[in-house]
Amino acid sequence: MAKAPSDNQPFLIARGGPFYDLQLKAKLVHTTGLNPLVRAVTFVAVAWGIPFVLSLAAGTAFGPLEARPFLLDPGAWARFFLAIGLLVLAETQIEEHLREGVRQLFDGRLLAAGSLAPARAAVAKALNRRNSSLAELVCLLLAVFASWYFVTIMRSDASPSWTVSINDAGNSPSPAAWWSIIVSNTLFWFLVGRALWRHIIWSLLLGTLSRLETRLVATHPDGHAGLGFVGKYPNAYVLFTVAVSCVISAAVTHQVLHGTFTASAIGTVMGIWLILIYAYFGIPLAGFMRLLTVLKRRTLLAAAARGTEYQRQAERNTLGENVFATEDKASDDDIPDPGKFYEAAKKLSPMLVTRATLVPVSAAALLPFVAVGLTQLPLKELTPILKHLLVL
């Protein structure tokens, strides 16, 4: 077996691109590691710490809950503190898991000999997409647009107190608000957009690899013809899922505090969010699930046909002839029993994402909503909703 590309060119999805190069020059990352904890603390200090200091100087860091001072604003905590920190920490977890997934695809001898070169080319193409300056520019432009939209929200009557400066000319964005608009919010949306783009790269890579000739066999002990490890990749996105869920739950919290969101609607939002999460992680696996469906059908047909020959041979050996179609010629070669293949094919599951994968991801998606739900529902009423959504 030829040497896998993971040995020569590791699939490091979190590296490459202008933003990574900028961090490399600033010594926030190293060629040997992503330095996640230092980067997370640095980015949170810039995105959340500086607005906190500015709001503290303006006297808007504290105050009554209805005024939404900086320290009591769930949106600021969710986007600038929790989400940014978790998104940075998630990069290392995601990169390590996806790198091992690509390595195992080659080292597990799942690709036919003629597929090795195209597979290497697919990995190289994915890494080129990862390094794209245009893609990160688009992410930055979308982040700037999102920050511009943030300005329109802060100008509304429901804007948090820390975002407004009251002067003779009327209300205007405070220094903390301007920093959040220009730096914090832009950084948050850029990190989200960059993470989404790299997930698209992973999805495209899986789609390409699923179309190559493989050496799958229905009797593989993992129950997924040898591809079981591919379906476990969503577990690498637990921190990413928590980060995005925090932001969405913060928006729900805002609506709850203003009385525009009913307690019963929280369960509906949680259910819709879970469906979106499942689609986000499930769609990239569609190509491999199609492949497993074909494998299962073909193995069942082949095993059934072989089973007929095996049983007819046994019938001839036992009865001296076949009851039907007696003109069949006896074979000198013993036909092996295909029962194991047939039973294995029956049990083969094309669904690569199993319950063991879905439960941690689901819990990560729902965890931030639990805090919101507890403000409206007692725990004994919220627990059945969570159990239903988690399919426990």
E strand or H helix at 139 = helix 133-154
Return d(Cα 21, Cα 19) in angstroms, integer.
5
Tell me how far CA of residue 314 lies from CA of 99, 182, 264, 299, 308, in angstroms: 50, 79, 64, 22, 10
Return d(Cα 284, Cα 233) in angstroms, integer.
10
- Residue 164: predicted pLDDT: 80
- Residue 387: predicted pLDDT: 55
Cα end-to-end span (Å), the chain: 43
Q: pLDDT digits over 283-328, tens only?
A: 999 999 999 999 999 999 999 999 998 999 888 889 888 898 887 7
Q: pLDDT digits over 167-210, tens only?
A: 545 567 889 989 999 999 999 999 999 999 999 999 999 999 99
pLDDT in tens for each of the 392 residues of the chain? 334 444 457 899 999 999 999 999 999 999 888 999 999 999 999 999 999 999 999 888 888 877 778 998 888 999 999 999 999 999 999 999 999 999 999 998 999 999 999 999 999 999 999 999 999 999 999 999 998 887 776 665 567 788 887 654 556 788 998 999 999 999 999 999 999 999 999 999 999 999 999 999 999 988 899 999 999 999 999 999 999 999 988 887 766 666 556 666 777 888 888 899 999 999 999 999 999 999 999 999 999 999 998 999 888 889 888 898 887 776 667 889 998 889 999 999 899 988 888 888 988 988 888 776 665 555 555 555 555 555 54
* pTM, full prediction: 0.87
Coil vs helix vs strand at 171: strand
Alpha-carbon torsion angle 172, 174, 179, 184, nearest 10: -90
